[in-house]
Amino acid sequence: MAGIPITSNNLNLIRGTKVPDDVCYDSITYEYCWNSLYDRLCSRFDFKVPDHWEKDYFEFNLYADGFVGVFDTNKYARTPNQKYGIIPSQATVTGIGVQYQPTKIITANPYFYMPAPETIYQGAGLIKLTHNYMGVLHIVDFYAEKLAILFSTVDQSLMNSRFAYIVGANSPAAAATLKAIFDQRNSGKPLIVYDSDKLNKKSDAEKKVDVASIGAKNPFNSIDLEVGKNYITDKLLADYRRLLAAFDEEIGIPNNPIDKAERLVTNEVESNSADTVARSTKMLQRLQLSIKKTIEVFPDLEGKLSVEFTKYDTGATGAKEAGKEVNYA
């Protein structure tokens, strides 16, 4: 799991513990995929937090650990400068209740000192995302690895597409001629002529042989790599969209089936929608219940702390609501 802050060292640590040495892709590609997917994950829930909360810090701890503590730092302040009010903080849960759930929570912070754990939902709040007090960044890790490998394959496919032939020459003269031919070809010349008889360096006796045999020995040897048959970049890009759709379905972002039939019926759309929101609905329920309990501990958070599903505006919806005609032509 990635630690705080989100740096390339932490992301490379994740990669190094999961990806075999013979699976090659660069860390920049993996970091790009990881950060892109993490932003998509953060977009699923629309949090309203107090103005003095650092929202990025709050969300990262929530997704990394599966929960985040909420503490009144004024209780622990030894000087007026250590009063930061009610804030979220990365925390550790401890204790076992009658239903085998943690009962205490504590945090460590260099800006204030917390002498002992607080009872959850009595002396401190706890905002909970998962049932097992573990994060969900493993989902981001899983798909980031797949996308990084896929992108490296796309690069290789595009590079392979640039080499249609491998050509060998039988002599230095043939090699020089071959280079000249390719220069003229790349410059757009419609007709290129070379003297094969001169390149073959035939003797006077050989030149008297029947004309049909003159070109029998070609000064060039070539291998056709059949680029058209081996071109798979379009398929890889389609797989990229499938992976994104699978990730979106995992975290609850609405999407349409990628491999849909020509005529997609309503029941198929509704089935995909149910699959998409199944997991995220449980997450939202835990978040809303734990926020409600946290507000009971700290009534000052009433009206300042809440969460809902993000309502995605794809553009078409907004235009329709505004009474405008959308033209996709």
Of residues 323 and 27, the one with the higher pLDDT is 27
Q: Indicate whether 196 pLDDT > 60.
A: yes
Whole-angstrom Cα distance, residue 285 to residue 130? 10
For residue 1, the model assigns a pLDDT of: 46
Residue type, 316: A
Of residues 168 and 265, the one with the higher pLDDT is 168
Residue 89 pairs with which residues in a beta bridge? Answer: 69
Q: Indicate whether 267 pLDDT > 60.
A: no
Chain segment 81-114, per-residue pLDDT in tens: 878 999 999 999 999 999 999 999 999 988 888 9
Q: Is the pTM of this model over 0.85?
A: no
Q: Indicate whether 290 pLDDT > 70.
A: yes
CATH topology of domain 8-148+281-309: Upper collar protein gp10 (connector protein) fold (2.40.500)
Longest CA–CA separation in the chain, Å: 108
The 3-state secondary structure of 17-51, one letter per residue:
HHCCCCCCCCHHHHHHHHHHHHHHHHHCEEEECCC
Are 293 and 121 spatial neighbours (Cβ–Cβ below 8 Å)?
yes
Average pLDDT rounded to a whole number, residues 247-276: 68
Residue 67 pairs with which residues in a beta bridge? Answer: 128
- Report whether the peptide linkage leading into residue 5 is cis, meaning its omega lies within 30 degrees of zero: yes
Proportion of the chain above pLDDT 70, given as a percent: 70
- Beta-carbon count within 10 A of 148 CB: 24
Whole-angstrom Cα distance, residue 309 to residue 102? 27
Are 72 and 44 spatial neighbours (Cβ–Cβ below 8 Å)?
no
Whole-angstrom Cα distance, residue 226 to residue 246? 33
- Domain layout of the chain by residue ranges: 8-148+281-309, 166-224
Average pLDDT rounded to a whole number, residues 142-167: 82
Whole-angstrom Cα distance, residue 178 to residue 117? 79
Lowest mean pLDDT among 40-54, 192-206, 221-235, 284-298: 192-206
Alpha helices in 48-136 (DSSP H): 55-65
